[in-house]
Structure 1
Amino acid sequence: MSTLRALAKAQAVAAGVAQPVATVRHLHLSDRPLVLVPLAMAGEANAPLAAMVGATPDAARLLVVPQPRNRDQRFAFAAELAAIVLPYLDSFRGVSEAVPVDRGRDVRHRYVDAPQLLVPNLAGVGFLRLFGRATRFRRPDGDHPVHPSVPLLGRWLTFFAERAEHPGSAALVAVSEALTLHWATGQSAVEDLHLPALLGWIDPPPGCTGAAAAARAEDPGRCPPSGPATDPDFDNRRLAPAMAAYAETEDDAEARAGAYAELERLLRDQLAPTWELMWRGVGLLRALPPGARVAGRWDGDKDAFTGHAEHVDAGGSPQPRRDGAVAAAVRLHRLERAMASYAVQRAYDDPIVMAEHRLTGEAFVGEVTLADPKRVDDSGKRPVLRPRVQVVTAEPVAVPVGATLYSPARPSQKAKVVFLTPGADGKTEVVLELSGGMGRGLTAPPGTVPEVGERLCFTTLSDAFLPAGNFPAAEETPWTHGGPPAVAPEALPATESASAEEWS
């Protein structure tokens, strides 16, 4: 936990309400997200029990699996879910836009928008990941066939689960994580995973403190769990008898319909409160203005959505069960680059996030007291524009002479530390030599050089492009590290088939 977040949590306890730890919204919110609240059966690995799905608050659709241990009913549920999710995804594939590449010498095309899935918490993301893995290798023919939409749904759910691991991505968002990114509550990080308690701190009812609202939310009878796990007391006292009653009516269609209606009522009562909380959380997030770099990260999600859609349309194979050594290294490297870039972009967009870096000495804020915007360095083969400015700051300056700094106000400009002069009054004079972001001439355009009196932040954090690493091609890699297999796939035993599984 960072110093500022710990302080914000202490202030939340004192004030009785969650404290903001961001001035802008650091993720994209679609105008038409698809909200998905899943429930799973306790004691059974990834057995779907129910789900509430919809793209608007008043368009919730409830899907129920009366007997989650029944494989046929599980995949019937998957087909029903696919009938909702796949048309939603297809609705974003109508219009494309041209994107210049290679410095404008060429263009590529991507969809103008992308779908966004919202789940209550990280456990919901995990449920979709496992459900995607359980369905993407199924076949519509052969032994134990499924509806043709089921494996396609599995591939898309796997795509969204993988994007959820990508720092800064908003394709699949856990609402509890999105809220804790912007507010600090007076409870522990584990308690923040409970969406009702979290929203009780952020938006308590009139006349109620956040702690009191969170305490009320801990009553599962009043605020059911936000899934996919269910309340054990509900399971034992209400759900189990209803499922048993449904199972006993196999030969009586009328009684079976009544038992199903009772089971549906019970599950709707469990899911409806979370459904309302999800849209309430979305409203709180929408009230925050988006950060300046949020749109650029959403462009990355649009690129990923377009690429996966084209891969599926071209008949590409499903995602593998596990990455090879090289593929895993490439993926890890990509995620590390994204994490570094995301951290910098959040700091550039939000002064509260940047304040944490100021505490660690990675940044400082000061006022420009002197400026020489016309200075030219003619010591090289040709003269170049190298203005200098003096910045006075009362904050500790932990960077050495010769370090390169950047300012969020002019991210394309570099500032080299030339002199550091500590003053007797506790202030430090920092002389910086500027390069970049001022055109190619020997005269700086207006506004490209800081003026006297301007208050700026300088940091060692850079939002510059991070080049990708070099990894060997698959055909140049030994089979032990993800290259071509030493044994042909058809020579593997039948148990190695991704879809081979005992059917019950």
Structure 2
Amino acid sequence: MSTLRALAKAQALAAGVAQPVATVRHLHLSERPLVLVPLALAGEANAPLAAMVGTAADQPRLLIVPQPRNRDQRFRFAAELAGIVLPYLDEFRGATEAVPVDRGRDVRHRYVDAPQLLVPNPAGITFLRLFGRSTRFRRPDGEHPVHPSVPLLGRWLTFFAERAEHPGAAALLAMTEALTLHWATGQSAVEDLHLPALLGWIDPPAGLTGAEAAARAEDPDVCPPAGPATDPDFDNRRLAPAVAAYAEAEADPVARAGAYAELEGLLRDQLAPTWELMWRGVGLLRALPPGARVAGRWDGDRDAFTGYAEHVDAGGAPQPRRDGAVAAAVRLHRLERALASYAVQRAYDDPLVMAEHRLTGEAFVGEVTLADPKRVDDTGKRPVLRPRIQVVTTEPVLVPVGATLYSPARPSQKAKVVFVTPGADGKTEVVLELSGGMGRGLTAAPGSVPEVGERLCFTTLSDAYLPAGNFPAPEETPWTHGGPPAAAAAEPVPVVDGDPAEEWS
């Protein structure tokens, strides 16, 4: 936890309401997201119990599994869910746009928009990841056949779960993580995973403080858990008898319909409060203006969606259960690069985020007191434009002479530290030599050189392109890492004692 977030949490506790830790929204929010609130049966590995899903707050669809331990019913639930999710995905597979590549010498095409899934918390993402794992290798023929849409749903859920691991991606979002990215509450990080309590701090009802609203939200009768876990008392007192009544009424269609209706009502009552909270959270996030670099990160989600859609259309294999050595290393490297870029982009977009880096000495803010925009360096083979500016700041300057700094106001420009002169009045004078972002001639383009009186932030954080690492081809994997891996094949899940075996680890 950063110093500023710790301070914001302390202020939230003192003020009785959550404090903003961002001035802009750092994630993309679709105009028509698909909200999915899953519920799982306690004591059973990722057994779906129910789900409330839809793209409009007033049009939720409830799917239930009357007997969650019945494999056939679970896969019928998967087919029903596929009947909602897959058409939603297809809505984004229409119009495309041309994107220049190879410095404009070629173009590629991607969809103009991409789908977005919202779940209540990180446990919801885990549920989708495991549910995708249990369905993407199923077959519509042979033993234990499933509906043809079930394996396709599993592949797409796996895609979204993997995309959720990518820093800055917004294809699949947990509402609790999205909200805590922008607000700090007066409770612990574990308590922030409870959506009703979190929203109690951020947007408490009239007459209540955040702490009082959160305490009220901890009552499962008032605010049922936000899924996929259920309340143990609800399981024992209400759910178990309802499931048993449905099982006992198997021979009587009338009694079975009544038992189903009762079970459906119980589960609707459990999911409806979280459904309403999800859309309340969407409204809070939508009220924030998007950061300048959010659209660029959403372009990455659109690229990923387009690429995987083309992979599926071409008959590509499902995602393997485990990555090979090279694939795992490439994926880890890609995530590390994305994480570094995401941290820089958030700081560039948001002064509150940049303030955390100012505290650590990675950035400072000062006023331009001198500027020489026409300075030319002729010590090399040819003269080059190298303006210099002097910045005066009251903040500690921990960067050494010779370091390269960047300004969010002019991200394509580099500023080399020439002199750092501390003053007796607590101010520090920093002389910077500028390069890049000023045109190609010996005269700087208008506005490209900071003017006297301009207040700027300079930081060691760079949003420049990070080149990818070099990895061996899969067929050249050294024997120390398992040798050349076999090509991933879409094999059916092995059958043990007549029942499909499932690997959950």
Determine if the alignment matches structure 1 residue 238 to structure 2 residue 233: no
1:425 is aligned to 425
1:60 is aligned to 60
Hey, what's the Cα distance between the residues in 1 that align with 2:396 and 2:439?
32
Hey, what's the Cα distance between the residues in 2 that align with 1:378 and 1:105?
35
Alignment of 1:340-489 (within 5 A): 340-478=340-478, 481=481, 483-485=483-485
Letter in 2 for 1:439: G
Letter in 2 for 1:154: G
Letter in 1 for 2:495: A
Hey, what's the Cα distance between the residues in 2 that align with 1:360 and 1:475?
45
Report SS of the residue matched to 1:109: strand
1:446-496 alpha-carbon deviations (Å, 9 max, x no partner) = 11000000000000000000000000111112466365347x999xxxxx9
Alignment of 1:93-492 (within 5 A): 93-478=93-478, 481=481, 483-485=483-485
1:493 is aligned to none
Percent identity reads: 88
Letter in 1 for 2:461: L
1:503 is aligned to 499
Does structure 2 conserve the Cα–Cα contact (< 8 Å) formed by 1:137 and 1:499?
no
1:313-364 alpha-carbon deviations (Å, 9 max, x no partner) = 0000000001111111110000000000000000000000000000000000
Hey, what's the Cα distance between the residues in 1 that align with 2:206 and 2:442?
61
Compute the displacement of 1:243 (Å): 0.2
Does structure 2 conserve the Cα–Cα contact (< 8 Å) formed by 1:372 and 1:389?
yes
Does structure 2 conserve the Cα–Cα contact (< 8 Å) formed by 1:33 and 1:116?
yes
Structure 2 unmatched ranges of 5 or more: 501-505
1:115-153 alpha-carbon deviations (Å, 9 max, x no partner) = 000000000000000000000000000110000000000
Against the structure 1 CA distance between its residues 241 and 96, is the aligned structure 2 distance closer, same or farther, given a 3 Å change threshold? same
Hey, what's the Cα distance between the residues in 2 that align with 1:259 and 1:229?
23
Hey, what's the Cα distance between the residues in 1 that align with 2:180 and 2:495?
41
Hey, what's the Cα distance between the residues in 2 that align with 1:164 and 1:483?
30
Hey, what's the Cα distance between the residues in 1 that align with 2:6 and 2:479?
48
Does structure 2 conserve the Cα–Cα contact (< 8 Å) formed by 1:474 and 1:482?
no
Letter in 2 for 1:500: V
Letter in 2 for 1:276: E
Compute the displacement of 1:499 (Å): 4.4
The worse-fitting range, judged by mean Cα deviation, of 320-329 and 128-137 is 320-329
Q: Which runs of 4+ in 1 moved over 6 A?
A: none
Hey, what's the Cα distance between the residues in 2 that align with 1:53 and 1:203?
24
Hey, what's the Cα distance between the residues in 2 that align with 1:29 and 1:168?
12
Task: Report how many residues are paired.
Answer: 498
Hey, what's the Cα distance between the residues in 2 that align with 1:500 and 1:91?
36
Report SS of the residue matched to 2:262: helix
Compute the displacement of 1:498 (Å): 3.6
Against the structure 1 CA distance between its residues 489 and 328, is the aligned structure 2 distance closer, same or farther, given a 3 Å change threshold? closer
Does structure 2 conserve the Cα–Cα contact (< 8 Å) formed by 1:478 and 1:484?
yes
Aligned CA-pair RMSD: 1.3
Report SS of the residue matched to 1:280: helix
Compute the displacement of 1:308 (Å): 0.2
Letter in 2 for 1:434: L
Does structure 1 conserve the Cα–Cα contact (< 8 Å) formed by 2:474 and 2:485?
no
Compute the displacement of 1:105 (Å): 1.0
Does structure 2 conserve the Cα–Cα contact (< 8 Å) formed by 1:327 and 1:482?
no
Does structure 1 conserve the Cα–Cα contact (< 8 Å) formed by 2:120 and 2:227?
yes
Does structure 2 conserve the Cα–Cα contact (< 8 Å) formed by 1:168 and 1:342?
yes
1:15 is aligned to 15
Hey, what's the Cα distance between the residues in 1 that align with 2:307 and 2:254?
49
Against the structure 1 CA distance between its residues 34 and 44, is the aligned structure 2 distance closer, same or farther, given a 3 Å change threshold? same
Hey, what's the Cα distance between the residues in 2 that align with 1:163 and 1:499?
27
Hey, what's the Cα distance between the residues in 1 that align with 2:102 and 2:151?
36
1:185-215 alpha-carbon deviations (Å, 9 max, x no partner) = 0000000000000000000011110000000
Hey, what's the Cα distance between the residues in 1 that align with 2:62 and 2:480?
46
Hey, what's the Cα distance between the residues in 2 that align with 1:500 and 1:32?
40
1:285-328 alpha-carbon deviations (Å, 9 max, x no partner) = 00000000000000000000000000000000000001111111
1:38 is aligned to 38
Does structure 2 conserve the Cα–Cα contact (< 8 Å) formed by 1:176 and 1:192?
yes
Against the structure 1 CA distance between its residues 133 and 489, is the aligned structure 2 distance closer, same or farther, given a 3 Å change threshold? closer
Hey, what's the Cα distance between the residues in 2 that align with 1:444 and 1:206?
56
Hey, what's the Cα distance between the residues in 1 that align with 2:155 and 2:492?
17
